[in-house]
A and B are shown apart, each in its own frame.
Chain A
Amino acid sequence: MTEDVVPIALDEPTAPARRGSSASRWGRRLASGLGQALVVSYVVVTVSYLMVRLVPGDPAQAVLGARATPQAVAALRHEMHIDRPLLAGYVDYLGGLLRGDLGDSIVQSDQTVSGIVDRTLPVTLELIFATMLLSVCVGVPLGLLLALKQGRAVDHAFRVALVVLLATPPFFLGLLLIVAFSLHWTLLPAGGWAGTWPANLRYLILPAVAMSAFLMPQIGRTVRQVAIDVSQQDFIEATMARGMSTRTVMVRHVMPNSLLPVITLLGLNMGALIAGAVVVEAVFGLPGIGSELVESVGQRDYPVIQGIAIVSALFVVFSNAAADALYTLADPRTRRS
């Protein structure tokens, strides 16, 4: 184990000799990861199609309400392409998707679903990116600090605080933040979106803080645990024995090892982040896919809802694959095996 660990910190920047073979191995892993992602994507799309056709109840009836005339329901069924036989409809649907066609909105009659997604998805991704940045910038140093102070009062106090933060739903924290920072101190806007950078930043701070409530504690806890595990390894003791300061050991040797699980954690949490963003956007009125979803739910605009579900699921699949690839790239151990 020790022999496995030592070279990471020392070897990584200076290992050009092995590059060739390890790069091709990495390529193979990437390809197999991508292949798996494509299979899952195909199943995701199929599930989305079958969902509409097989879920109990008639979606057209659900859109129009119980008092709709049979003619109106039949007309909408035709418009939604759910009057077609199961298999023929499926082929049409797949063909449309390959051309980037997610169908048309029922309510916003001049808009395509892909147009709506194009408009709203960037806002959501910016929110997610801001959340990740904030959570990593706070969570990693906090985790390292707690590992250093392991077992002391600070450690216990912060660990309890992290559990409480983790248990607080982001939308509730968002409401509390609005009360404190927008209504009481009037420092930041309670919601909305400027549409231009860097003016958007002011609107992004509170939602990103609210979302970090569930990501940051996970990062903090993981980094703390890994940092403690790594500190007990022999090579850390060896560097200490060579007279390096605690800070140098932490920054040069413990931190790089603690960052690896963070990559995995971010990839695994992509789905939860999108789901969190949807709710937090609704609270803060950010014009991302979340607000679009709420509007579409209110109007029973189900093609839009379905389109957003597919796009977000595909996004999750490929970010998981990307996180896996990045992990392999960052950790020399996984390449050698």
Chain B
Amino acid sequence: MLGVIVVLCLVIPIVWPDSPDSLVAAPYQAPSLRHPFGTDSVGRDVFVRTFAGGRIDLIVAAVVVGASLAIGTLLGTLSGASRHRAVDTFLMRLVDAVIAFPFVILILVLVVLIGPDRKIGPMPAGLPATVIAFLLVGWAYYARLARAQTLALRQSDFVVAARILGYSQPRIIVRHLAPGVARVTAAYAVGDAILAVVVIASLAFLGAGVQPPTPEWGNIMYEGRAFIATAWWITVAPGVLLAVTGVALSLVADALLSGSRADP
């Protein structure tokens, strides 16, 4: 299911005759064969915009979750394996504090501080600030999880054996602890991707996030909100796709979690 959504988001903007940004028909046209999701307030095709928007949402979610996973797992494992109590305590109190902030609010603060209009390279306006904000916050959840897992693994026989064999601390962390920790955090990451997609889309409702005219699920829905009584399809199409993506991701996450539990 997830694969289908990803493929559709990749393929449809390429093969569909309309471009996401061009005005192709009269505004507010109801869904038809030619325009399966209708047209929006200025006459753009909602079908191609929805899938082009999905590209941004999915790519950004994958990038920020992947990076948070890598950074958080590394820091958490180091913190758990560290012999310096001070390092561990400092890092974990920082994690507590970052997690205490409601996620969306913290992201929003950071986006505003960084400057939502700032452009970096080819990324559309609003995206760089969103990505940076996610990276500054997202690692904390993985760090806490990775630390707990490291503490659990540290006492296990194979790690003790490796220590007795005289392997160096870095070698034990990289070769012995990290793989076991990463398995747990990776399963969590898939579930976290749902949250990432929802938060990226929510930002449009809060006046931040990816700026129009670049299509993105959140801002398509936000633009459609004003006309929801007469042209419901503008908002409902990306919303349903977002919900379907969420269900698909949670199925994957459930499968991974039950898999990792059965396999010690």
Contact surface of A with B, Cβ cutoff 8 Å: 39-40, 43-44, 46-47, 51-52, 55-57, 59, 61-62, 65-66, 163-164, 166-169, 171-172, 175-176, 178-179, 183, 271-272, 274-275, 278-279, 282-283, 290, 293-294, 297-298, 300, 302, 305-306, 308-309, 312-314, 316-317, 320
Whether A43 touches B112, Cβ cut-off 8 Å, given contacts A282-B206, A297-B206, is: no
Whether A57 touches B114, Cβ cut-off 8 Å, given contacts A163-B250, A169-B243, A293-B105, is: yes
A271–B194 touching, CB < 8 Å: no
- Distance from B225 Cβ to chain A, minimum over Cβ atoms (Å): 6
Q: Which residues of B contact A47 (CB under 8 A)?
A: 94, 97-98, 101
A-B contact pairs, 8 of them (CB 8 A): A39-B93, A169-B201, A169-B243, A272-B103, A275-B104, A309-B109, A313-B102, A320-B100
User: Does B239 sit at the interface, judged by CB under 8 A?
Assistant: yes
Interface size grouping (class) on chain B: 35 or more
The residue of chain B having its C-beta at the shortest distance from the C-beta of A296 within the complex is: B112
Whether A275 touches B246, Cβ cut-off 8 Å, given contacts A51-B113, A62-B112, A179-B229, is: no
Q: Could you tell me the distance between the alpha carbons of A39 and B112 in the complex, rounded to whole angstroms?
A: 27
A169–B202 touching, CB < 8 Å: yes
User: Does B158 sit at the interface, judged by CB under 8 A?
Assistant: no
Whether A57 touches B205, Cβ cut-off 8 Å, given contacts A271-B100, A305-B108, is: no
Contact residues, B197-225 vs A (CB, 8 A):
198, 201-202, 205-208, 221, 225
Q: Which residues of B contact A279 (CB under 8 A)?
A: 104, 202, 205-206
Q: Could you tell me the distance between the alpha carbons of A171 and B239 in the complex, rounded to whole angstroms?
A: 9
Chain B 145-175, CB within 8 Å of chain A: the 1/0 string?
0000000000000000000000000000000
Given A40-B100, A51-B113, A52-B113, list of 19 further CB < 8 A pairs? A44-B100, A47-B98, A55-B113, A57-B114, A167-B194, A171-B205, A172-B235, A172-B242, A175-B225, A175-B239, A271-B103, A282-B206, A283-B225, A294-B207, A297-B206, A298-B207, A312-B101, A313-B101, A314-B100
Contact residues, B107-164 vs A (CB, 8 A):
108-118, 132, 136
Whether A179 touches B228, Cβ cut-off 8 Å, given contacts A47-B94, A62-B113, A283-B205, is: yes
Q: Could you tell me the distance between the alpha carbons of A57 and B110 in the complex, rounded to whole angstroms?
A: 11
The residue of chain A having its C-beta at the shortest distance from the C-beta of B254 within the complex is: A163
Return the contact of A275 from the options B105, B116, B205, B232 (Cβ within 8 A). Answer: B105
B247–A167 touching, CB < 8 Å: yes
User: Does B21 sit at the interface, judged by CB under 8 A?
Assistant: no
B229–A183 touching, CB < 8 Å: yes
Whether A51 touches B109, Cβ cut-off 8 Å, given contacts A168-B246, A169-B198, A179-B232, is: yes
Q: Which residues of A contact B6 (CB under 8 A)?
A: none
- Distance from A42 Cβ to chain B, minimum over Cβ atoms (Å): 9
Q: Could you tell me the distance between the alpha carbons of A59 and B112 in the complex, rounded to whole angstroms?
A: 8
User: Does B70 sit at the interface, judged by CB under 8 A?
Assistant: no
The residue of chain A having its C-beta at the shortest distance from the C-beta of B251 within the complex is: A163
Q: Which residues of A contact B101 (CB under 8 A)?
A: 44, 47, 271, 309, 312-313, 316
Q: Could you tell me the distance between the alpha carbons of A302 and B206 in the complex, rounded to whole angstroms?
A: 14
Return the contact of B243 from the options A172, A271, A282 (Cβ within 8 A). Answer: A172
The residue of chain B having its C-beta at the shortest distance from the C-beta of A160 within the complex is: B247
- Distance from A317 Cβ to chain B, minimum over Cβ atoms (Å): 5
Q: Which residues of B contact A167 (CB under 8 A)?
A: 194, 243-247, 249-250
A169–B104 touching, CB < 8 Å: no
Q: Which residues of B contact A314 (CB under 8 A)?
A: 100
User: Does B187 sit at the interface, judged by CB under 8 A?
Assistant: no
Q: Which residues of B contact A61 (CB under 8 A)?
A: 115
- Distance from A32 Cβ to chain B, minimum over Cβ atoms (Å): 15
Which 3 A-B pairs have CB atoms at the shortest separation, nearest pair first?
A: A167-B246, A43-B97, A62-B115
User: Does B71 sit at the interface, judged by CB under 8 A?
Assistant: no
Whether A56 touches B228, Cβ cut-off 8 Å, given contacts A168-B246, A309-B109, is: no
Q: Which residues of B contact A43 (CB under 8 A)?
A: 93-94, 96-97
Q: Which residues of B contact A66 (CB under 8 A)?
A: 117
The residue of chain A having its C-beta at the shortest distance from the C-beta of B98 within the complex is: A47
B243–A168 touching, CB < 8 Å: yes
